[in-house]
Structure formats: structure tokens, C-alpha cells
Amino acid sequence: MVGGGSCFPKDVSALIHTADDYGYETQLLKAAVSVNQRQRLIAIEKLQQALKILKGKTVGLLGLTFKPDTDDLRDAPALDLIEQLHRLGTKIKAFDPLVSQTGMRHGLSNVMVETDAERLADGCDALVLVTDWKQFRTLDYDKMAKLMNNPVMIDGRNYLDQETLEKAGFRYIGIGR
């Protein structure tokens, strides 16, 4: 999940547009935008490899916001994941420390937003870490694994401790590892 700040895509698009106005070709900037968009969907590929068929499965998203300690959902990678998972017929659950508290639901009509991580895990076929919230390092992964249909963790930020998750019973899949 490549970041760059919530303004990155908007700023690069503005640069591309301005360069186009002056007749300059911006291949590197266009490539950066393309790579940034593709990175967001690697979690879908990992889910398909782990679960084979996503239709009818339940996937839980750990984190929704663009970055930790904010309630900013503008251009958040989670929104792209939600769109693709919904298109593939997946039931989507999510837990985010701020979004779950505030009741914000902008762009989340196809998502069951849970009030804690254990409720998120309950009945899921896989979890995807989307936002690297500090408290996600110390969740009760032993209990969460037992609540899941299939304890798979896609770590979209390579943030969690693989050994801890595997001891808890998860099949850990990092992105870029």
C-alpha cells in the first residue's frame, strides 16, 4: 500500500496537467501514479491466492483511514479495496479506531463497520491490515484467530510481527516480502 500522503495523487495530477498545458511529456509522473494505484490492489491478489474464490467470503479490513491517528478517508487505499472486494462479491467488514468511534460512514455503504477488532475477526475468512495503527500491534490475535473461519492475515503495510501472528494461528502474508 504505497502512501505518499493524501495529497500526493492530487498534487501529481496537477503537475501532469500543468505539464500537458505546456506540451511537456511527464512519463515518470504518470508511471508513479500508475504504480501507486496498482500497489493498492496487491492485497486483492494476495487474498485470491490465499482463498482462491472471494465471492461469498468475508474479509475484514483493519483500518480504513489514509494514515493512523486521523479520521481522513480522502483517497484512502481502503476505499479502493472496498470497491474491488464488493465487485468480486465479497462481504466486507472493517474496524478503524476513529471511524468506528465517530460513526463516520462516508463511502462505506457496503461495509459493516465493527466496534472492535474481535467483532471484526468473528466469521471472517481473512483480514487485511490497511492502516498501521499503533494499537494493531498488540491486539489479541490468539482470540481473533479462533473467531475466524480461516485465520489469514494480509499485512498491507508489513507492520505486524509475523512470528506473533503465526504463533496465534494465522497464515501471515506480507506484501513485498
Which residue range forms the structural domain that includes residue 22? 1-40
> Mind listing the pLDDT tens digit for each residue in 39-58?
668 999 999 999 999 999 99
Write down the pLDDT at residue 24. 78
pLDDT mean over 153-175: 96
- For residues 18 and 54, membership in a common domain is answered with no
Any catalytic annotation for residue 124?
no
- For residues 150 and 110, membership in a common domain is answered with yes
Sorting pLDDT into bands at 50, 70 and 90, what band is 103?
Answer: low
- For residues 144 and 59, membership in a common domain is answered with yes
Count structural domains, the chain: 2
- For residues 46 and 19, membership in a common domain is answered with no
> Cell for 68?
493512523
Write down the pLDDT at residue 106. 62
- For residues 35 and 45, membership in a common domain is answered with no
Catalytic residue among 3, 7, 45, 134: 7
Distance CA 15, CA 89 (A): 37
pLDDT mean over 122-146: 97
- Residue pair 104/36 in contact by the 8 Å Cβ criterion: no
- For residues 156 and 166, membership in a common domain is answered with yes
- For residues 134 and 160, membership in a common domain is answered with yes
| CATH, residue 61 | 3.40.50.720
- For residues 141 and 169, membership in a common domain is answered with yes
DSSP state of 61: E
Assess whether pLDDT exceeds 50 at residue 3.
Answer: no
- For residues 160 and 81, membership in a common domain is answered with yes
Write down the pLDDT at residue 110. 86
Q: Higher-confidence residue: 22 or 177?
A: 22
Which among 151, 176, 177 is positioned nearest to 166, based on CA atoms?
Answer: 151
Distance CA 74, CA 94 (A): 17
- For residues 20 and 91, membership in a common domain is answered with no
Judged by average pLDDT, the poorest of 37-41, 81-85, 145-149, 169-173 is 37-41
